[in-house]
Structure formats: C-alpha cells, structure tokens
Amino acid sequence: MLEAVPMRQSRTIQTNLVLPPDTNHMNTIFGGKVLAYIDEIAAITSMKHAKMQTVTASFDSVDFFAPVRSGEILELDAVVSNTGRSSMEIYIRVQSRDIETHETRLTTESFVTMVAVDEHGKPQEVAPVYPETNEERRLFESGPARRAHRKAKREMPHSFF
C-alpha cells in the first residue's frame, strides 16, 4: 500500500475568461463548456495525485447553481477528496467573478471519479489521501456515502427500454 498524502497536494486551480463563442443565446456559458472544463481539471488533479495517466470513470454529480455571463471569469478549484484502490474521487468547485462589480458566486459543484491506468489501460494503485482542514475533513468523511451511492447506481439496470 502506498503512503497517504495530504489532499492539498493534488489541489489544482484553473481560471478561464468566458468569451462570446462559449455562450448560448442567453449570453451565458454553455453547460457543456463547463463540463469540459470540469473534465479537464479532474484529469489534471488526478494525474498530479496518481503521478500517471488517468481516465474518467464517471461524472458522479454536477449541480449548476447560477449562470455565468460572457466577460466573467470562471475559477475552478479541484482536489482529490477520496480514493479507492485505483480510483480517485475529485471534488470540483466552480465560481464566477464579475470583473466590474468584483462579485464572486458559486456556479457549479461536481464530483468526478477518475481511475489511474498504465500504458495498457490497466488500473493502477493510487495513494490514499488525508484531510488537513475542516472543509477537507467534511469532503473526506462524506466520501464513503458517495462511494456507496455510486456502487448502488452501478447495480441498477443499464437499459430501461
């Protein structure tokens, strides 16, 4: 078993400017664009932790709370919040920042599961993580419940027709 590392070691922050081509007819960012940013930062965060290639196993949850308008800054903050043998749960918090008013608001939260793989695509062991702050402790301690939910979801029928 690999030695546990602090959650902060994998923390990744990414900043993007929302431009007109990123937006829909309501001048707000496409949800799919936000999902692409989430997938990218989850990959970077998990590769930093695993020190090897990773693949997306699932988007466990994505909750959109507020729109992001063209011209605003999008800030993504991600951390490995829990681990399995080869899997990593990545927590991503997305905030928008209005350049003129300096208002910052939570726009999206997501949990993504990534898996460390070797050059042949075979799952590889990853180090466990441990929390150091109260926020990290809440994320870490609620991880087993999210894992149980993911497991129950996998056992559901895959085809409804």
The 10s digit of each residue's pLDDT in 75-115 is 999 999 999 999 999 999 999 999 999 999 999 999 999 99
The 10s digit of each residue's pLDDT in 42-65 is 999 999 999 999 999 999 999 999
Q: What mean pLDDT is predicted for residues 61-75?
A: 97
Two structure tokens written together for 9? 């070691």
Q: What mean pLDDT value characterizes the chain?
A: 96
Amino acid (one-letter) located at 99: I
Write the CA distances from 138 to 48, 113, 143, integer angstroms: 22, 18, 9
